[in-house]
């Protein structure tokens, strides 16, 4: 189960927040299906290893069923070839918040007209997610995370895939 909130943001978190950067990853992801989601992703840790992940998701909004499994690079490449469309590149930085939660900020399709930024936080429980308030940690963080799109239709990476990669391909 994935319990996650999502915000549209403008750039990396302000330096004034002083959030420790835990790690950075360069990713490429593509979709075999979007309802339910069947996704492949290459996750290259900056200065470290690369993992290849097959993911299944169902549902929308705050709580979604999610199953992830590592796959061999060869299977990833076969699935990428099967998809036959350019994968979505993104850079994700993971920061530690003062309350111990992790803020994941992603920069998607850098340099393209469709490029954008978003942030996510995963929670242990639905109540924790609903009660979490950035303003209790910092007014700067609250301002940075002022555009909560968790419940908005069409705010998934799968929806972005359809609009930017699949549109006109079916």
Tokens matching residue 94: 């993971």
Bridge-based pairing state of the strands 2-9 and 116-122: antiparallel
Specify the 3-state DSSP secondary structure of 115. coil
Decide if 132 is inside a domain. Answer: yes
Say whether pLDDT at 87 is over 80: yes
How many other CB atoms are found less than 10 A from the CB of residue 55? 16
Q: For residue 142, give Cα distances in angstroms to 61, 102, 105, 119, 151.
A: 21, 15, 15, 12, 18
Is there a domain that residue 169 lies in?
no
Would you state the pLDDT for residue 170? 44
111 occurs within a structural domain: yes
Tell whether 140 is covered by a domain.
yes
Task: Give the chain's domain count.
Answer: 1
What's residue 166's pLDDT?
86
* pLDDT value of position 168: 53
| CATH code, domain with 27 | 2.40.320.10
d(CA 37, CA 70): 16
Examine residue 170 and state whether it is found in any structural domain, yes or no.
no
Per-residue pLDDT reduced to its tens digit, 22-50: 999 999 999 999 999 999 999 999 999 99
What confidence tens digit (pLDDT) does each residue in 120-151 have? 999 999 999 999 999 999 999 999 999 999 99
CA angle 96, 52, 149 (to 5 degrees): 50
For residue 46, the cross-strand partners are: none
- CB under 8 Å to 109, separation ≥6 — which residues? 88, 89, 90, 115, 116, 164
Report CA Rg, the chain. Answer: 16
Flag whether 39 is in a domain. Answer: yes
Residue 158 domain boundaries: 2-163
Q: Is residue 168 part of a domain?
A: no
Please indicate, yes or no, if residue 84 is contained in any of the structural domains. yes
pLDDT band at 99 (very low <50, low <70, confident <90, very high): very high
Given a cut of 70, is residue 169 above it in pLDDT?
A: no
Mean pLDDT in the chain? 95
Would you put residue 47 in left (φ > 0), alpha (ψ -120 to 50) or beta?
left
């Amino acid at each position: 189960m994935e319990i996650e909130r999502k915000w549209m943001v403008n750039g990396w978190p302000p330096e004034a927040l002083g959030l420790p950067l835990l790690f950075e990853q360069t990713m490429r992801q593509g979709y075999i299906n979007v309802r339910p989601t069947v996704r492949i992703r290459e996750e290259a840790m900056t200065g470290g290893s690369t993992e290849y992940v097959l993911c299944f998701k169902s549902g929308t909004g705050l709580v979604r069923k999610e199953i992830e499994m590592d796959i061999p690079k060869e299977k990833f490449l076969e699935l990428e070839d099967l998809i036959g469309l350019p994968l979505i590149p993104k850079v994700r930085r993971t920061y530690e918040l003062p309350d111990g939660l992790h803020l994941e900020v992603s920069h998607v399709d850098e340099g393209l007209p469709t490029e954008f930024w978003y942030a996510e936080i995963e929670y242990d429980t639905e109540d924790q997610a609903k009660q979490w308030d950035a303003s209790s940690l910092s007014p700067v963080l609250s301002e940075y995370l002022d555009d909560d799109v968790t419940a908005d239709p069409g705010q998934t990476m799968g929806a972005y895939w359809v609009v930017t990669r699949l549109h006109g391909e079916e």
